[in-house]
Amino acid sequence: MKPEHEAWLRLREHAASQLSPGFPDRVLRAARADPSPLFVTQFAMCIATAALCLFGVLLFHAQGSAADEASNRAGWSEISAQASDLDQGL
Amino acid sequence: MRELIVAYQRRVAGFAYAITGRSDSVEDLAQMVFVKMARALGRLKAPEQFESWLFRLARNTCIDHLRRQKLRRIFTPFAPEHENVPEPDGAVDSEELDALRHALDQLRPKDRALLALVQEGRSHAEIAETCRTSVAAVKARLHRAREELRQHYHRDET
């Protein structure tokens, strides 16, 4: 018999002593309860949240860019109008 | 179902303890294993392979638990004094068990699982299937793990 053999037996005994009375009934109750969300579900929720945040950032950025572009266009139109007025004046 | 839990609870608890080395997580892990078993038993196609299937479930549950713990520590690192919390008083009641526990602690979780599967009487072919590897690889890893365990066990004992 290997020297560790006795130790393995003790290990199992010790581990078994950690189970409190009524363990099988508690397991059965837990098994009947609603299953906790799967990792895949949790991961999908994370991806969906990240996608929503990214969409929000892009939308905010796009709106900001559009406003900047409109203001730049207006500025350039004004400069262009002033330049053509000056041309006509010459 | 209750009979199955009663019949295997001691073995599954011992198996979980051998892999995690923590008395305080044995009951939670054993419960997780049996809950998974209860929910998936209907999908087991070969009832004669029940025992092998149960210990595969137990091995994966314990390895996942250790992996999650490791991942959690990346985000919420423990203070140095919390890294290695000793077993509660009276948790280890014999020198042999203490030596084995310390020796197992020096091995990688997958090697601990390998040795625990052997202790549960699983064949090399079953272990290879559980670990998704070849029988030759199992034999080689097992030989290495046994040698390592023996060295640490005798070092702790002396």
Q: What are the residue ranges spanned by the domains of chain B?
A: 2-157
- Chain B environment of A46 (Cβ under 8 Å): none
CA dist A41 to A47, B29, B68, B113, B146, Å? 10, 22, 17, 28, 39
Q: For position A51, what pLDDT does the model report?
A: 97
Q: What is the pLDDT of residues B107-131, one digit of tens each?
A: 888 888 888 888 888 888 888 888 7
8-state DSSP, B77: P
Residue B135: pLDDT band (50, 70, 90) is confident
Q: For position B88, what pLDDT does the model report?
A: 57
Q: What is the mean pLDDT of chain B?
A: 81
Question: Looking at the partner chain, which of A6, A12, A24 has a beta carbon nearest the beta carbon of B96?
Answer: A6
**Owner of token pair 């390998």:** B114
pTM over 0.80: no
SS (H, E, C) chain A: CCHHHHHHHHHHHHHHHCCCCCHHHHHHHHHHCCCCCCHHHHHHHHHHHHHHHHHHHHHHHHHHHHHHHHHHHHHHHHHHHHHHHHHHHC
Best of B6, B10, B25 to disrupt the A interface (most A CBs within 10 Å) is B10
Who wins on pLDDT, B23 or B88? B23
**A75-89, B52-66, B92-106, B126-140: range with lowest mean pLDDT:** B92-106
Q: What is the pLDDT of residues B32-76, one digit of tens each?
A: 999 988 888 888 888 778 888 888 889 999 888 888 887 777 777
8-state DSSP, B107: S
Residue closest to B44 by CA, chosen among B26, B56, B28, B61:
B56
Mean pLDDT of A29-35: 80
Q: How remote is the C-alpha of B97 from its chain's centroid? A: 15
Please report the ipTM that was assigned to this predicted complex: 0.72
Question: Looking at the partner chain, which of A7, A30, A35 has a beta carbon nearest the beta carbon of B100?
Answer: A7
Q: For position A52, what pLDDT does the model report?
A: 96
- Chain A environment of B93 (Cβ under 8 Å): 14
Question: By a Cβ cutoff of 8 Å, what residues of chain B touch chain A?
Answer: 1-2, 5-6, 9-11, 13-18, 23-24, 26-27, 30-31, 34-35, 38-39, 91-94, 96-97, 99-101, 119, 149-150, 153-154
Cβ-contact B14, B115 below 8 angstroms: no
Q: For position B145, what pLDDT does the model report?
A: 85
The dotted CATH code for B2-157 is: 1.20.140
Question: Looking at the partner chain, which of A11, A25, A30 has a beta carbon nearest the beta carbon of B35?
Answer: A30
Residue B98: pLDDT band (50, 70, 90) is confident
Mean pLDDT of A52-80: 93
Q: How far apart are CA A62 and CA B155, in angstroms?
A: 67
Q: For position B85, what pLDDT does the model report?
A: 59
Q: For position A1, what pLDDT does the model report?
A: 44
- Chain A environment of B149 (Cβ under 8 Å): 4
Cβ-contact B27, A19 below 8 angstroms: yes
Cβ-contact A24, B31 below 8 angstroms: no
Q: Shortest Cα distance from A57 to chain B (angstroms)?
A: 26
